[in-house]
C-alpha cells in the first residue's frame, strides 16, 4: 500500500494509517510511521491471507518479524490470537506499535526493538516460546528471507504444524524452504507475491 501522506517534511516521520479489516477491532484505523521502505500489507492481501488462516489464528501464538506498520500482527490479535510478538529494528516503528497496542488496550502483545536477524540469533535454544503462526514481510531486496527461515528452524522456534507467511517482491525467486515446509497457498497482487507454508508435524 502506498503512503497516503504529504512528503513535504524531510524527517521521514509523517504518519499514515492502516485499517484493521476483521475481528474485534474491525474498521479501526491505526497510525504508523511512514518511513522509507515501509509497506503495509494491502487490505485485499490481508483479507485473502486471513481467509486462508480460518481456524488457525484464534488462540495462536504469533510472531510478526519486520513488523513495520504491525498490520499483520494487529489483524491476528483482532481475530483472537493468544499473543503476538512484534519485532522491528526502527525505534520510531517500535514506539508507534507500542502506542497502538496501548490505544487498543491489547494485553497479550509485546514489541521488541531489534533487527529480526539479531533477535532470532540471540534467543536461547529450546527455552523460547514456540510459535504457531509467523508473519514474515521483510524489506524488499535485502536477502533476508533465507536467513530468517533458517533461524526459525535452527533456534527451534516453530510449533508442530506451524504456519509461516512470507511476503516478498514479485520478481524474487524464493530460496529453497526447509524440507518439511509445505506450500499451502500462494498468490500475487500487483508487485507483491505472498505464500503460506505449513510446517509438517511428521518430519524427522
- The DSSP element (H or E) to which 193 belongs, if any, is strand 192-199
Residue 139 DSSP symbol: P
Find cell 501464538 and name the residue.
Answer: 61
Residue 198, beta-bridge partner list: 163, 182
Rounded distance, CA 96 to CA 68, Å? Answer: 10
Cβ distance 159 to 189 under 8 Å?
no
Question: Coil, strand, or helix at residue 131?
Answer: strand
The CATH number given to whatever domain includes residue 92 is 3.40.50.150
Does residue 45 lie in a domain region? yes
Query: Does 8 reside within a domain?
Result: no
Tens-place pLDDT, residues 94-126:
999 999 999 999 999 999 999 999 999 998 877
| Domain assignment of residue 9, yes or no | no
Q: What is the pLDDT, as a whole number, of residue 14?
A: 65
Domain-embedded: residue 154: yes
Rounded CA-CA distance 15/24 in Å is: 24
Cβ-contact 62, 130 below 8 angstroms: no
Residue 3 lies in a domain: no
Three-state secondary structure call for residue 196: strand
Confidence of residue 31 (pLDDT cuts 50, 70, 90): very high
Output the pTM of the full model.
0.89
The number of folded domains in the chain is 1
Q: What is the pLDDT of residues 145-196, one digit of tens each?
A: 999 999 999 999 999 999 999 998 888 777 788 888 999 999 998 888 999 9
Range of the domain at 144: 15-199
pLDDT score at 202: 59
C-alpha cell at 128: 523460547
pLDDT digits (tens, 9 = 90+) for 56-88: 999 999 999 999 999 999 999 999 999 999 999
What's phi and psi for 123, nearest 5 deg? -70, 140
Residue 73 near residue 62 (C-beta atoms within 8 A): yes
Q: Residue 173: inside a domain, yes or no?
A: yes
pLDDT score of 140: 85
Residue 33 has pLDDT above 70, yes or no: yes
Report how far residue 72's alpha carbon sits from residue 69's, in angstroms, rounded to the nearest whole number.
Answer: 8
pLDDT band per the 50, 70, 90 thresholds, residue 28: very high
- Give the per-residue pLDDT at 8: 37
Cα 151 from Cα 38, distance rounded (Å): 23
In a domain, residue 167? The reply is: yes
- Phi, psi for residue 151 in degrees, rounded to 5: -70, -35
In a domain, 38, yes or no: yes
Residue 173, pLDDT score: 76
11, pLDDT greater than 50: no
Dist CA 11 CA 78 (whole Å)? 32
Containing 172, the helix (H) or strand (E) segment is none
Helix 71-78 and helix 43-52: axis angle, to 10°? 50
Amino acid at each position: 500500500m502506498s503512503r497516503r501522506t504529504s512528503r513535504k517534511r524531510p524527517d521521514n516521520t509523517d504518519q499514515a494509517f492502516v485499517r484493521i479489516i476483521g475481528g474485534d477491532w474491525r474498521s479501526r484505523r491505526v497510525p504508523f510511521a511512514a518511513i522509507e521502505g515501509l509497506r503495509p500489507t494491502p487490505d485485499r492481501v490481508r483479507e485473502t491471507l486471513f481467509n486462508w488462516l480460518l481456524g488457525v489464528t484464534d488462540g495462536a501464538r504469533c510472531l510478526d518479524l519486520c513488523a513495520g506498520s504491525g498490520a499483520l500482527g494487529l489483524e491476528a490479535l483482532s481475530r483472537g490470537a493468544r499473543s503476538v510478538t512484534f519485532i522491528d529494528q526502527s525505534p520510531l516503528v517500535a514506539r508507534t506499535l507500542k502506542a497502538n497496542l496501548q490505544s487498543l488496550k491489547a494485553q497479550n502483545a509485546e514489541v521488541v526493538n531489534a533487527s529480526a536477524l539479531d533477535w532470532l540469533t540471540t534467543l536461547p535454544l529450546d527455552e523460547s516460546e514456540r510459535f504457531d503462526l509467523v508473519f514474515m514481510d521483510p524489506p524488499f531486496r535485502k536477502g533476508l528471507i533465507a536467513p530468517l527461515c533458517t533461524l526459525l528452524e535452527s533456534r527451534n522456534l516453530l510449533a508442530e504444524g506451524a504456519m509461516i507467511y512470507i511476503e516478498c517482491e514479485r520478481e524474487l525467486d524464493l530460496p529453497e524452504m526447509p524440507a518439511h515446509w509445505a506450500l499451502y497457498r500462494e498468490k500475487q497482487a500487483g508487485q507483491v507475491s505472498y505464500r503460506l507454508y505449513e510446517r509438517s508435524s511428521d518430519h524427522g
